[in-house]
Amino acid sequence: VTDLKISPGILAADPTRLGEEIAQIATEADWVHVDVVDNHFVPNLSFGLPVVRALCATSPLPVDCHLNIDDPDRWAAQYAQAGAGVVTIHAEAARAPVRTMRAVRAAGARAGLALCPATPLEPYEGVLAEADVLLLTIGPGFSGQSFLDFVLPKIRRAREVIDATGADVLLQVDGGITTETIVACAAAGVDIVVAGSAVFGEPDRAHAIRRMRAAAQAGQAAADVLQETIA
């Protein structure tokens, strides 16, 4: 059973008190997920570079920056330079994803490639030898949507590809993750889950994260038993 990371998404937090919101998750969460949404790639607007820079300067957790934006080739490295621990760009928006992710790593951050639910994994399988992958389990840009089950086979396939290459890359899922849906994600072998409303919609954020972690461990244990049965 591997340690699954939890990255609460602050798109679901109170935007007037982001610092306090992050302080409330600091002891239980692994990363804090920041959705940069530009009103072009998707029709919503959230945070930009100055807010991310301020969060990076004060957050006790690594800032996991998901760029739901057009033209990420132009912007991604600047988010790494601003102090983000992870910068993830969208395959649907990038013109030169490999070059851009190399620039992100050169600036000192982990680089990730995000795929929308309807985007197939196959054209990008080669990239998984050198970049993290984020599989969206909802449409991008808005918090509070329901998990799309049809992405689960893509999650399992990504796990197989990553294991086959043996690369030091992480598999992240983002969207509609709850104490119920995290079970199937953990069983499918994800390394990191983003949880928005399931954490910031609860009065006790730390308790909500502990419940999610317990549910994930149950999912991993069930998958391990199944593996042994097959073997």
Any idea which residues carry the catalytic annotation?
A: 35, 174
If binding is defined by CB under 5 A, does position 132 make contact with Zn ion? Answer: no
**Shortest Cβ distance from residue 163 to Zn ion (Å)?**
24
Other beta carbons less than 10 A from residue 17's beta carbon:
11
Taking CB under 5 A as the rule, which mask of x and - marks residues 194-223 in contact with Zn ion? ------------------------------
Question: If we measure between CA atoms, which residue out of 74, 159, 58, 119 comes closest to residue 34?
Answer: 58
Q: Enumerate the β-bridge partners of residue 115.
A: 135
Among 31, 55, 61, 66, binds Zn ion (CB under 5 A): 66
Strand order in the sheet with 110-115: 5-8, 192-195, 171-174, 132-136, 110-115, 86-90, 63-68, 32-37
Q: Could you tell me how many residues of this chain bind Zn ion (CB under 5 A)?
A: 3
By beta-carbon proximity to Zn ion, the closer residue of 129 and 201 is 201
Pick the piece of the chain touching Zn ion (CB under 5 A) from 32-40, 43-51, 143-151, 163-171: 32-40
Pick the piece of the chain touching Zn ion (CB under 5 A) from 28-36, 41-49, 98-106, 204-212: 28-36
Q: Quick check: 33 and 7 in contact, CB under 8 A?
A: yes
Quick one: tokens of 25?
A: 């998750």
By beta-carbon proximity to Zn ion, the closer residue of 174 and 191 is 174
If binding is defined by CB under 5 A, does position 21 make contact with Zn ion? Answer: no
If binding is defined by CB under 5 A, does position 90 make contact with Zn ion? Answer: no
Q: Quick check: 182 and 145 in contact, CB under 8 A?
A: no
Among 35, 64, 132, 191, binds Zn ion (CB under 5 A): 35
Point out the residue whose Cβ comes nearest to Zn ion: 66
SS3 sequence of 111-171: EEEEECCCCCCHHHHHHHHCCEEEEECCCCCCCCCCCCHHHHHHHHHHHHHHHHHCCCCCE
Among 174, 189, 191, 209, binds Zn ion (CB under 5 A): 174
**Shortest Cβ distance from residue 1 to Zn ion (Å)?**
25
Which amino acid, one-letter code, is at 204?
Answer: D
- Can you give the C-alpha Rg of the chain in angstroms? 16
The footprint of Zn ion (CB under 5 A) covers 35, 66, 174
